[in-house]
Amino acid sequence: MKILRWLIIGVLAVLAYAYAIRVTEPDPVRLFTSLPKAADVVGQLLSPDILIRSSTSYTLSMAFPVPCGSAPNAAPTTDNRRISAQPQCAAVGEPIVFLGQNLGANAEVAVRWGLPNGNRLPLQVLRTDANGNFRYETTARPITAARDGQAATLDAVVSVPGNQWELSHTVYEVIDQLFVTVFIALLATTIASVVAAPLSFLAARNLTQGPFGKVVYTLTRSLFNITRAFEPLVLATVFALIVGFGKPFAGVLGIIIGTIASLGKMFSEAVEDIDMGAVEAVTATGATRAQVVSQAVVPQIIPNWLAYMLYHWDINVRISTIIGFVGAGGIGEFLQKQIDTLSYRQAGTALLGIILVVWTLDFISAQVRKRLI
């Protein structure tokens, strides 16, 4: 019989894994053949956008009449940094060569038209050569035609890299969204703890005696088990539909439901582990039920409860980074936007921030729990 039992278990295991392989369709060959394609993405993720060179910017403009004679030509410049055009005016459709000289080596130049109506028409972003020069070819367009004697301008917005390094704008965005994520978890954990605390007494077997107490115990425990079955990611999606996508409040609500059930169960187990001798001693003095709980139960459970709350805050920070992917705000939503727009270096910055915050909170939480328990 023992051999038969193990044989049946073995057959069931083989069938289970065979079905798992069938539904998941693993393709290790494609995994390895796709590695070169993933090298660029992984390389950008491992090169986060953290430091950039400081830069100074200035704009050079020159009048360019379209057509010739419709407005005065650009006045000659004597500045060492200058721009020019060949020819100095043109009819619609004619080619133009836009030139820049002595603008700074490896400077970024945004070339654009300044239209007579005050609007701008971006053309291209390019870089100067080692001598600070650039050359750009374009054509005169109907939209650049002079109006009431006012000529369009050819503009060069020049950004020259400096020698100092500074934090990129992405770093400040990531820090801002990480704060949102941490405090989503903090608010959700706090509210869930306030709700779970009184419910935990109803779910403690040693405090719910008698027929009525057993009914209350069973109902409360069942409530915890049912609500724990709901994934915070799914709940956050539902609440995002209600309160709006991109609202951190949706993430708070999604985390609260699951945290109430989890903390309620942990709190009740802490209540069940108390020393009943203290309870009996306070009861013998003629104290009421409320006095027994406040004098004999609460002092014993507070350290464990605080440790569980810190532990769950740590867990909820990790959950908050994921629920952002369903429009619940925080660093997860920022990360999703960077991935959707193929901004992998910015996504790498967000991933690095998540790792640092999670590691830091895990370390702090562990140290505090050691002192509490």
Q: Which of 112, 147, 166 is the last residue of a domain?
A: 166
CATH number at residue 99: 2.60.40
Residue tagged 């080596």 (tokens): 105
Q: Is residue 26 part of a domain?
A: no
The pLDDT of residue 353 is: 92
At residue 352, the pLDDT reads: 92
The pLDDT score that the predictor gives to residue 211 is 78
Can you tell me the distance from the alpha carbon of 309 to that of 301, in angstroms, rounded to the nearest whole number?
12
- Do 188 and 326 sit in the same domain of this protein? yes
| Burial (CB count <10 Å: 0-12, 13-18, 19+), residue 347 | buried
Whether residue 112 sits in one domain with residue 204: no
CA distance 179 to 334: 12
Average pLDDT over residues 342-364: 88
Q: Is 241 found in the same domain as 93?
A: no
Residues 99 and 247 in one domain: no
Residues 74 and 223 in one domain: no
pLDDT for residue 128: 92
| Residue at which a domain ends, from 122, 149, 166 | 166
Q: Reply yes or no on whether the pLDDT at 275 is more than 80.
A: no
Residues 202 and 280 in one domain: yes
pTM for this entry = 0.67
In this predicted structure, the answer to whether residue 345 has a pLDDT above a threshold of 80 is: yes
Distances, alpha carbon 104 to alpha carbons 79, 162, 184, in Å: 14, 10, 47
pLDDT confidence of residue 278: 67
Overall average pLDDT of the 308-315 stretch: 86
129 three-class SS: coil
Question: How many domains are there within the chain?
Answer: 2
**Residue 372: which pLDDT band, with cuts at 50, 70 and 90?**
low
- The reply to whether 88 and 174 lie within a common domain is no
Interatomic CA distance for residues 155 and 59, integer angstroms: 7
Dump pLDDT digits (tens) for 82-112.
Answer: 899 999 999 999 999 999 999 888 888 999 9
Residue 106 domain-assigned (yes or no): yes
- List the 95-101 sheet strands across, edge first: 82-86, 95-101, 134-139
Sequence-separated (6 or more) residues with CB below 8 Å from residue 225: 261
Q: Does residue 20 fall inside a structural domain?
A: no
pLDDT at residue 207 above 70?
no
Q: Dihedral of CA 280/281/286/290: which sign?
A: negative
Residue 336 lies in a domain: yes
- Of the pLDDT bands very low, low, confident and very high (cuts 50, 70, 90), residue 210 is confident
Q: What angle do CA 260, 264, 267 make, to 5 degrees?
A: 140
- Domain of residue 367, CATH code: 1.10.3720.10
Tell me: pLDDT of 65 over 90: yes
Residues 117 and 148 in one domain: yes
Same domain, 212 and 232: yes
Peptide bond into 87 cis (omega under 30): yes
310 found inside a domain: yes
pLDDT of amino acid 52: 80
Residue 58 domain-assigned?
A: yes
pLDDT reading at 155 higher than 90: yes
On the question of pLDDT at 288 being above 80, the answer is no
Residue 198 is assigned to a structural domain of this protein: yes
Nearest-CA neighbor of 326 among 242, 243, 229, 250? Answer: 250
Cβ-based neighbours of 50, under 8 Å, separated by 6 or more: 167, 168, 170, 171, 349, 352
The reply to whether 284 falls in a domain is yes
- Domain residue limits at 86: 53-166
Tell me the pLDDT tens digit for each residue of 77-89: 767 888 999 999 9
pLDDT interval class at 279 (50, 70, 90): low
* 3-state class (DSSP) for residue 307: helix
Q: Do 186 and 318 belong together in one domain?
A: yes
Do both 176 and 311 map to the same domain?
Answer: yes
| 151 shares its domain with 296 | no
